[in-house]
Structure 1
Amino acid sequence: MEAAVFILSLVDCCALIFLSVYFIITLSDLECDYINARACCSKLNKWVIPEMVGQCLSTMLMLVSMHWFIFLLNLPVAVWNMYRYAKVPMGNMGVYDPTEIHNRGQLKSHMKEAMIKLGYHLLCFFIYLYSMILALIND
């Protein structure tokens, strides 16, 4: 049972790593003017909810399986994703808004956030991998 939890978390983490890389590539394309702001924001907003669901899935799996340290490691990122989604102003296209992405350095902050999430998901990947191997050895 414990190995199955970590295998599912590992697969989920791989998907979140892929999404983080996709966000970084898309934002860097916008920064270099390869795509326009509207196309970039519509591409990224399409993946905000799946990212939130994936992060919450990992968090809930760790809560249900009573892995408290990993649950507490996942909780702030899950809460941050939900907070960011809930704080979208009325009238905006989504978390990424084409009219505001170039204002007030939002592009740089979105890029920094995507890089931090990539590092976080890579750390979680190795924690899940280690835990999965440990669970398989113990079973």
Structure 2
Amino acid sequence: MEAAVFILSLVDCCALIFLSVYFIITLSDLECDYINARACCSKLNKWVIPELIGQALATVLMLVSMHWFIFLLNLPVASWNIYRYVKVPMGNMGVFDPTEIHNRGQLKSHMKEAMIKLGFHLLCFFIYLYSMILALIND
């Protein structure tokens, strides 16, 4: 059972790594003017909810399987994703808004957030991999 939890978490983490890389590539395309702000924001907003669900799934899996350290490691990122989604101002297109993405350095902050999430998901990937191998050996 424990190995199955970590295998599912590993697959989920791979999807979140892919999404983080996708966010970085799309934001860097906007930064270099390869795509316009509206196209960039519509591409990214399409993946905000799947990212939120993926992070929440990993967090809930660790809570249910009583891996407290990993749960506490995932909780701030899941909370941040939920907070960011809930606090979208009325009238905005989504978390990424084309009229505001170039204002007040939002593009840089979105890029920094995507880089931090990529580093976090890579760390989690190796933690899940180690825990999965340990669980398989112990079973």
Taking structure 1 as the reference length, the TM-score comes to 1.00
- Distance in 2 between the 1:109 and 1:80 partners? 14
Unaligned residue ranges in structure 1 (runs of 5+): none
Q: How does 1:118-137 map to 2 (within 5 A)?
A: 118-137=118-137
Q: Deviations over 1:36-77 (max 9, x none)?
A: 000000000000000000000000000000000000000000
- Distance in 2 between the 1:30 and 1:115 partners? 16
- Tell me how far 1:96 sits from its aligned partner: 0.1
- Distance in 1 between the 2:16 and 2:86 partners? 20
- Distance in 2 between the 1:51 and 1:127 partners? 19
- Tell me how far 1:121 sits from its aligned partner: 0.1
- Distance in 1 between the 2:35 and 2:100 partners? 16
- Tell me how far 1:35 sits from its aligned partner: 0.1
Unaligned residue ranges in structure 2 (runs of 5+): none
Q: Deviations over 1:73-126 (max 9, x none)?
A: 000000000000000000000000000000000000000000000000000000
Question: What percentage of residue pairs aligned between the two structures are identical?
Answer: 93
- Distance in 1 between the 2:115 and 2:101 partners? 17
Q: Deviations over 1:6-58 (max 9, x none)?
A: 00000000000000000000000000000000000000000000000000000
- Distance in 1 between the 2:62 and 2:105 partners? 35
**Shift >6 Å, 4+ stretches:** none
